[in-house]
Structure 1
Amino acid sequence: MPADSRPYQLTAPRSVLGGAFVYDETLTGPVPESAEEDFAAFGITNPTPVRILYKSSSSASRQTVQLTGAWGTISDPEQVIDRHFAKIAQNSAAEPNGSTKLVGTLQTMHPSGLGDAMMKCQNIRTGANQYIITTPICVWADHYTYGEVLVLDPGALRNGGLGVSFGENADTAARIRNDARVPR
C-alpha cells in the first residue's frame, strides 16, 4: 500500500485546471454499461466508474479533455495500466478497419505532481479520411484511483493531425488527477 494509506475516490468536478476547462454536458454521455466489468478485469476491486468531458473555458480554444476512470482498490497499479492499453490494442485488432489505433510505443511518464501514482502514455490515432488526429492518451493508477486522460484539439487538423505532446498530456493528466481525486 502507498505511504499515504487513506483511501481516495475519483470525482467529476465541474471544472479542472484552475477553471481552464469546464464540464460540457452536451459531450458527456453516460458511463457505458460494461465499465464496471472492464475496470474489474483491469484489476480494480469494487470499481465505481467516472466519465466526464470538459471544454475549454476560453472561446479562443476548442480543446476538450476527457476523463474516464474509476475508484476502488488497486493492488497493482502498473498492471491495471498495462491491461488497459492491452484492451485498446485488442479492440483495435478486432476491427481492422476501425477508426482508433494505438501507434508508437507505450512510455512511462513522471510529470510533476503525480505523487505516488504510476503513469503511462501512448499515441492514439483516431478519425477517418482527412480528419485523422494523433494525440497521446495518458493513464494513471495508484492504489485507489485510475484515470485515463485524452486531450483533443481540433486545431491539430491544421498541424498535420498532431495533437498535444506527451509531456503536455501527461502534465494535464497529473493536474486533473489532483483536481478529481479526493479522500473518501
Structure 2
Amino acid sequence: MSTPPPPQGPYGPPNPYGGQQPPQGPYASGPYPQQPQQQPPYGTPYPQQQPYGWGAPPMAPPPRKRRTGLVLGIVGGVVALIVAIVVGLAMVGAKVTGGSFPEAKYTLSLPRTLVDGRYELAKDLSDTEGQKVEKEAEGAWDAKDVRAVVGQYSLGGDQTRGTLVVSGMYGRFNHTELTRKNMMRGAAEGAGAKVAVPAQDFHPEGSDGITVSCEVLTQTQLGTQVTVPVCGWADGNTGASVAEVTTATMSQDPSEVDLDKAAATTARIRTEMRKPIG
C-alpha cells in the first residue's frame, strides 16, 4: 500500500523548494514562502521597539553640533546687544556741562574669572568692540580720559552652557546718575531689543552705596526669542553694563527674572573688576 502524499495547506506545499532550504536574501529568485504566525523572510519590518524602522527613533533630538551652533549664535547676539548698549549711551546721552571732574582713582580690568570663579574669560574684545565705545565717548559724554573694556565670559568654561558679557568704561565722569539712566535707555534702543520689564534701581549689599539699575530685554535671535536681563552701574571713575544669559534662563518668562539677584551679581562683578590706581 503506497504512502499518501502529505496534505497541502491553503498556501500550497509547506516547502515549495523541496527538501532544500529556500534561498536567502531579499532578492532571491522564486516564490516567497508564506508561513502564517511566523516571522517573514525580511524580518519584522516595524518591530515594536523601533516603530519607525531602521533604528531611527521618532523625533530624534538635533545633533549636538546643531544645538551648539544655535547656542553660540544666540551668545553672539547677546555680545552685540551689550556692546550696543554702551555705544548707544554716547548717542542718547547729551553732554551735560557744569560740575567738576573727580580725580581718577580706579580703573576696570578683565580678570581671568568673575562671580567667584563661576565664569571664565573667553574673549577680550577691548581692542575691537572697546574701540567703538571709546570712539563714541570722545567728546560725547561729560567725561574725560575714557577707556573701555569689553569681555565675554563663559559659564564654567563652556560657552554652550551660558555667557556673561561686560561692556565697561573707566575715566573721570560727571553726572553719574544721568549716565546710568542713559545706559538703560541705550539698552532699550540697541540691536532690536524690546523692554519687557522696565528699569528698576537696587542697592545690593556690598555695593558701597552705589545704585545698580536692572531691566529685562527680549530679543529675537535665530528665530528664538531670548530673555536678556541687563544691569548697569556708574560712579565717578567706572561704569559698565552686564548681561548674563544661560541655557536654563534664556527662554525664561521676563516677569520671572530675579532682578534682585541680577543686581547682586552686578555689584559683585564691580568689586572684582574695579581696581585702584597705583
TM-score, with structure 2 as normaliser: 0.55
SS of residue in 2 equivalent to 1:156: coil
Deviates more, 1:73-82 or 1:137-146: 73-82
Please give the per-residue CA displacement for 1:123-182, whole angstroms capped at 9, x wherever unaligned: 111224752122320001111000111001122255457785211211111001000000
The aligned counterpart of 1:95 is none
The aligned counterpart of 2:175 is 76
Please give the per-residue CA displacement for 1:46-92, whole angstroms capped at 9, x wherever unaligned: 21000001111276x81211111000011221111112223333446
Per-residue deviation at 1:28? 4.8
SS of residue in 2 equivalent to 1:177: helix
Q: Is residue 8–residue 181 contact of structure 1 (8 Å, CA) maintained in 2? A: yes
User: What CA RMSD, in Å, does the superposition of the two structures yield over aligned residues?
Assistant: 2.9
SS of residue in 1 equivalent to 2:161: coil
Q: Distance in 1 between matches of 2:248 and 2:255?
A: 9
Is 1:63 aligned to 2:162, yes or no? yes
Given candidates 208, 225, 230, the residue that maps to 1:137 is 230
Q: Distance in 2 between matches of 1:129 and 1:90?
A: 20
Q: Distance in 2 between matches of 1:105 and 1:160?
A: 14
Q: Distance in 1 between matches of 2:262 and 2:134?
A: 25
Given candidates 22, 27, 30, the residue that maps to 2:120 is 22
Following superposition of structure 1 onto structure 2, how do residues 1-16 of structure 1 map, counting pairs within 5 Å? 7-16=105-114
State the one-letter code of the partner of 1:84. Answer: M
> Structure 1 pair 153/28, CA: closer, same or farther in 2 (3 Å)?
farther
State the one-letter code of the partner of 2:186. Answer: K
Q: Which runs of 5+ in 2 are unaligned?
A: 1-98
Identity score, percent: 23
More strand by share: 1
> Structure 1 pair 139/76, CA: closer, same or farther in 2 (3 Å)?
same
Q: How many residues align?
A: 174
> Structure 1 pair 22/163, CA: closer, same or farther in 2 (3 Å)?
farther
TM-score, with structure 1 as normaliser: 0.80
Task: Return the structure number with greater relative CO, CA threshold 8 A, min gap 6.
Answer: 1
SS of residue in 2 equivalent to 1:24: strand
Q: Which runs of 5+ in 1 are unaligned?
A: 93-97
State the one-letter code of the partner of 2:276. Answer: P
